[in-house]
Structure formats: C-alpha cells, structure tokens
A and B are shown apart, each in its own frame.
Chain A
Amino acid sequence: DAGITQSPRHKVTETGTPVTLRCHQTENHRYMYWYRQDPGHGLRLIHYSYGVKDTDKGEVSDGYSVSRSKTEDFLLTLESATSSQTSVYFCATQTQGTEAFFGQGTRLTVV
C-alpha cells in the first residue's frame, strides 16, 4: 500500500465553522490531489498540487483552500463549512506517468 494517511477519518462539524483535513504521504510523490465524492457525481477534483507551494484549482474549488508547505503534507481547508460540503473527501498522490494512489477517505458531515 502507498503510504497515504488522511486525518481525521470522520468528522461532524457545525455550519459556519472552519475545518481542515490533512493528507500525509510517505512516497515523496510530486502531485497531490483532493477530491470529493458524492452520489450521482462521482469523484470531482477540488484542488491539486504539483509541488511545494504550487497549487491550483480544480473543478469544484469554491469554498475550499489548500496549502502545501512540505512535500508530504497537503491540507484542505473549508473556511466556513456549509451543508453542501457534506461529502466524502479523498486525497490522492501521484508521480509522473504512473497511477494515482488514494487515501482511505474522510467522511465529513456539516450539520
């Protein structure tokens, strides 16, 4: 298994509160991604990173920000959580030309 750890694995939070999800990898992969998975929508890319401090927006980036200060860590922040952000969040890592490896997911519920 690729060394990808997501934390927390489950979280319930209130509307309007900030939330940070963490993805930690031990593979030294250059590329890291945050996806959300919702019924009827499959996996949608939120943000991605192609190196330390190099990030860019994906398909559904509104309401989310990311940071990557070290190769191994990619943080996803919901500045002010909304119910529409209730989802399962997956982190993935990849090196050039190979498959992406996925974490086990974080189930986030915003009440």
Chain B
Amino acid sequence: SQELEQSPQSLIVQEGKNLTINCTSSKTLYGLYWYKQKYGEGLIFLMMLQKGGEEKSHEKITAKLDEKKQQSSLHITASQPSHAGIYLCGAPGNAGNMLTFGGGTRLMVKP
C-alpha cells in the first residue's frame, strides 16, 4: 500500500517567516491533495495537483508536485497566525479515488 510521510511533524515559526512542508510518497504519485485542519474541526481542501511539475498558488500558499521524486511541497510565504493548524497531504490510490493521508504537520505561528 502507498505510504505518505510528512516532514516536519511539527513546526513553530515567527509571524512573517516563510516555511515549507514536505510530503514524500513510497510509490508513484498520480496526484496529490493538500488539506488544512484547524484544531478540533474537519479538513478544509487547499489544493489538488495532478501533473508532474505542476505548481498552484492560493493567496500566500504555494504547492508543487514533483513526480520524479514522488514528493510534494507546500510553501507558505510571510506566515500569519491564521495559517496555524494541521496540514495534511493525501494521495489517490490505484482505484483513483480512495485517499491515503500523511501523518500531518502541526504548524504554530507565533505573533
């Protein structure tokens, strides 16, 4: 089965600093989803990447998919307290829909 490993597991940054979260797959990625979860709440969809080399941005968050490395990265520029939460990457399985998730990265942004 496919496994996704996220790094770092937790991260504390000062407001205004940039940060990167990585998601590495044990198998070839056919696509990659990024979600954010606020503490005690459900998952909020951020971005979906479907092609090798694809890069998407939304506000101050940019995600890239590198199929050759079986890896995706999520970069936040000029972090804000509102960025705090748990970031999870998910990948579709061979059936195309069933998602496997990484362990999550817990982000804290200090004002």
Contact = CB atoms under 8 A, between A and B. Distances in A.
Interface in A92-110: 92, 94, 96-105
Contacts, number: 54
Given A40-B103, A41-B103, A96 B41 contact: no
B12 interface: no
B48 interface: yes
A104 B41 contact: yes
A90 B44 CA distance: 12
The size class of the interface chain A forms with chain B is 20 to 34
A33 B99 contact: yes
Interface in A42-58: 42-45, 48, 50, 58
A106 B98 CA distance: 20
Interface in B33-89: 33, 35, 40-45, 48, 88
A102 B42 contact: yes
A99 B103 contact: no
27 contacts: A31-B97, A33-B98, A33-B99, A35-B101, A40-B103, A41-B103, A42-B103, A42-B104, A43-B90, A43-B104, A45-B99, A45-B100, A50-B97, A59-B100, A90-B42, A92-B99, A94-B99, A98-B48, A99-B33, A99-B45, A99-B48, A100-B33, A100-B99, A101-B45, A102-B35, A102-B43, A102-B44
Interface of A: 31, 33, 35, 40-45, 48, 50, 58-59, 90, 92, 94, 96-105
